[in-house]
Amino acid sequence: MIVRKRSINGTPVEKGRMNEKKLQNITIKNYEINSNGKKKYFFDYYGCIYPFNMPISLYKYPPIFGYCSLSDFQEIGAKRLALLQFLDTCTISGEEEKDTYNNLKGKMDKDALTNNYNDNKNKQIRQKIFEYKFGIQSMKNYSKEEMENIIMTDLLSHYILRIAFAKDKEKQQWFLKQELKLFIFRLNELKNINVLNSHNLGESERGLIHLLNRENLNYEFLSKPMISSFGVKDEAWEKYTSFIPNRDTIEKVFKIPFFPDAYFLVKDHKVCVDKAIAYVPDIYLDVILVTQFKITIKESFKYLDQNEKLLLNVQNDSRISSFLTALPKAYVAKDYRQNYEHTQETRLMPQNLYNVYKQSFPPCMRRIFVNFLKEKHLKHWARQQLWLFLKGAGMTLEENIHSNRSIWLQADKFDKEHRYTIRYMYGKEGKKTDFSPYNCSSIINNFPIPSSGDTHGCPFKNFDEAHLKSLLFFFGLTDGQIKNIMPFKMNNEYQMACVKFFMETHPGSSADGVGNHPNSYYIESRKYYKSKATNGTSEAGAQKASAS
């Protein structure tokens, strides 16, 4: 429940006034919140940035008091969308809760080239955050008002997009995925920061614990026991931490409900469970925070869906309705439907199919296609995965049908059993829906586990190490290149493994956009070979000119 009576220090405020933060054309007001009707907590928006140079929040408390000019409303909404669009081209390790703890182990196994790649990506993301005014490059060079302005820009822009993307389920998923990337990036930055304890300035606490407390996630915890001079060990501490790697770095163990908060940690036997309570060490708190972040946004979309009139009242406001309607249409997350505009170099056609697939098909599609050429047949999920990919790569309906028909063992049987399916994918049959190709997340998380004879899915996920090495060797990679890829497989970072595969087979490429969508992989590869051919021609011309 929201209480509008007190200011930040709990003292009464004058009638008609709240604790306002006036920031040029943006004003926002703090408010108190009740927790289970027992104790009042005050949510201070200013705390979203201290002691960090970027605002970080679970966005549980919308900034519902205050005002914002229409021009600022539109500007910050557009900037947030631009930032999310940029993140859509990036693969950030640990995008899923189940992957987050994997980042805590095995990092030393990654080679210097991989670390440089990650460092470069992080640097680019950081620069974009600063460019769009969602972070502070140096706390020393900013006034308090400027910092507050960044906080309000971050909060308001998030909720603007949340409302704008609420109508469409598919766009909701895109919004959540990109916001999750931004949140995880900020979490990774916060991990290495210690914060002064507000109750005892002589002590400090880890940044993630500070965030946990600030978001009113008041889990009970056990503190690390003092070392006994008699060598007596604390039984509870030993029970809950003895099997955890790097246990010496653990300072607190939190008592957290195993579902949904600690589900992924429990599922993978990373923590101890006792009477439905998971005992989570502080080094795994990022998993808990990511889970809470997803729950918050999903519950918000669910609430808006159940209260459609409330959403319509906002979206039909004449001052902002056209802008909110335009935002989801403007987002450039590529779904590679028929309206995607390919260039002559990127469009896949029957004429170039057999020359291109070895160079530019991602491993998942290349494996399916090679098997298709061999067996002259595809099972259901492989058909779904490959045929939509060919559509996204630029093949017209007739080209897609013709290419598959020419490979199929019995052409007349193909026409009878599968021609309709491809027409259905292009929106020419059934509900006339223009289907988009599957992205990496869908292939990895939603496709069924392959059984004998199946070729669908992500090979980095579905293959064991021995079979994956054989496949990569078949694709022409050297032992050294395969060695560079395998740590990602072992750490369950399948999309990063695909990025590394691209970098090994496309030397000198930045791999922008790779690892999120098979069609992004294909397009970046075609651009790479086009650039390579152009540069080769230029160099040959220059050599010829110098010789003459």
Per-residue three-class SS string for 183-197 = HHHHHHHHCCCEEEC
Q: What share of the chain has pLDDT > 90, as a percent?
A: 39
Asked if the model's pLDDT at residue 439 lies above 80, the reply is yes
116: alpha, beta or left? (left if phi > 0; alpha if psi -120 to 50): alpha
Local structure of 439: helix, strand or coil: coil
Are residues 459 and 363 in contact, defined by beta-carbon separation less than 8 angstroms? yes
Q: What share of the chain has pLDDT > 70, as a percent?
A: 77
Mean residue pLDDT of the chain comes to 81
In a domain, 86, yes or no: yes
Tell me which of 396 and 535 has the higher pLDDT: 396
Closest CA to 206 of 196, 217, 219: 196
Residues 302 and 437 in one domain: no
What average pLDDT does this structure show over 323-337? 72
Count of H-run helices and E-run strands, the chain? 23, 12
Residues 166 and 221 in one domain: no
Residues 90 and 176 in one domain: yes
List CB contacts of 514: < 8 A, sequence separation 6 or more.
Answer: 91, 498, 499, 502, 520, 521, 524
Residues 190 and 45 in one domain: yes
CA angle 342, 370, 378 (to 5 degrees): 90
Residues 58 and 124 in one domain: yes
In a domain, 14, yes or no: no
List, in sequence order, every beta strand (DSSP E) within 208-288.
220-223, 252-257, 272-274, 277-281
364 annotated among ligand-binding-site residues: yes
Residues 318 and 220 in one domain: no
The pLDDT value recorded for residue 478 is 96
The span from the CA of 12 to the CA of 30, in Å, is: 13
pLDDT tens string 165-186: 998 888 898 899 899 999 999 9
pLDDT tens string 235-276: 888 888 888 888 888 889 999 998 888 988 998 889 999 999
What average pLDDT does this structure show over 418-438? 93
Distances (CA, A) of 405 to 12, 388, 422: 77, 15, 11
In a domain, 310, yes or no: yes
Which range (73-77, 109-113, 171-175, 476-480) has the least confidence? 109-113
440 annotated among ligand-binding-site residues: yes
- Helix 363-375, helix 353-360: angle, nearest 10: 140
- DSSP letters for 348-388: --TTTHHHHHHHHS-HHHHHHHHHHHHHS---HHHHHHHHH
Residues 193 and 321 in one domain: yes
Tell me which of 342 and 119 has the higher pLDDT: 342
Q: Which pTM does this prediction carry? A: 0.62
Asked if the model's pLDDT at residue 104 lies above 50, the reply is no
Residues 439 and 518 in one domain: yes
Residues 431 and 532 in one domain: yes
The span from the CA of 151 to the CA of 360, in Å, is: 43
Asked if the model's pLDDT at residue 295 lies above 60, the reply is yes
CA angle 92, 467, 529 (to 5 degrees): 55
Domain range enclosing 247:
214-288
Residues 139 and 67 in one domain: yes
Distances (CA, A) of 175 to 80, 84, 261, 282, 459: 11, 8, 22, 29, 27
Asked if the model's pLDDT at residue 47 lies above 50, the reply is yes
- DSSP letters for 390-416: HHHTT--HHHHHHHHHHHSS-HHHHHH
What average pLDDT does this structure show over 70-81? 89
The span from the CA of 380 to the CA of 387, in Å, is: 11
In a domain, 103, yes or no: no
The pLDDT value recorded for residue 542 is 42
What average pLDDT does this structure show over 388-401? 95
**How many structural domains comprise the chain?**
3
